[in-house]
Chains A and B, each alone.
Chain A
Amino acid sequence: EIVMTQSPATLSVSPGETATLSCRASQSVSSKLAWYQQKPGQAPRLLIYDAFIRATGIPARFSGSGSGTEFTLTISFLQSEDFALYYCQQYNKWPFSFGPGTKVDIQ
């Protein structure tokens, strides 16, 4: 099983600033990496798939990069609605696996 790790666990950022979230896989997942956003009481929402492609309706301030084992989610010009939990997920190999999440909160 591929183990996913995320850092930091919590990221405190001010509105309007940029947040950079990291995700690492225990072995290469090629570009089969997704990012999800989850808010309290809600189901996860797909933000990015195939490492860098924004899902339908996702604003351009969300961008993904990386391949192999190292990935980054960048959120530019943070808006109030962006403060949430973010998970990465590999789907290169079954069983799929999620990272433990990064919480982005207001500084």
Chain B
Amino acid sequence: EVKLVESGGGLVQPGRSLRLSCAASGFTFEDSVMHWVRQPPGKGLEWVSGISWNIGIIDYAASVKGRFTTSADNVKNSLYLQMNSLRAEDTALYYCARGRGGLAQDAFDIWGQGTMVTVSS
């Protein structure tokens, strides 16, 4: 079964850090383009970051650039999002998602169930 499972969310104070993980199974992780997407409570979807080690792309939304870092471990079949200098506006449900065809430009066909990050004092 193709599956993505996020973990690592929680309550964190403004200015602190948090690291999210996404465990992948059922597909060839190292050939995939992977993304982070977030959704604040009651609001829409926002693309956060994407990575393709095969193609050599890592990119970030302007709202997180310089504060968030995406990485991957092909041995552990896992995607990570290191979030530093967290702000209240980073409060959201964070999803990891897979790019459909292994290309740099493709839709997201597999999504995890998300992990909630709450930034509050």
Contact = CB atoms under 8 A, between A and B. Distances in A.
10 closest A-B pairs by CB: A34-B107, A49-B107, A43-B111, A98-B45, A96-B47, A94-B59, A101-B44, A46-B109, A100-B44, A91-B105
Interface of A: 1, 32, 34, 36, 38, 43-46, 49-50, 55-56, 87, 89, 91-101
A11 B57 CA distance: 38
Contacts of A38: 45
Given A87-B44, A94-B57, A96-B50, A46 B62 contact: no
Contacts of A43: 95, 111-114
Given A43-B95, A87-B45, A100-B44, A95 B60 contact: yes
Contact of A45 (B35, B60, B111): B111
Contacts of B104: 94
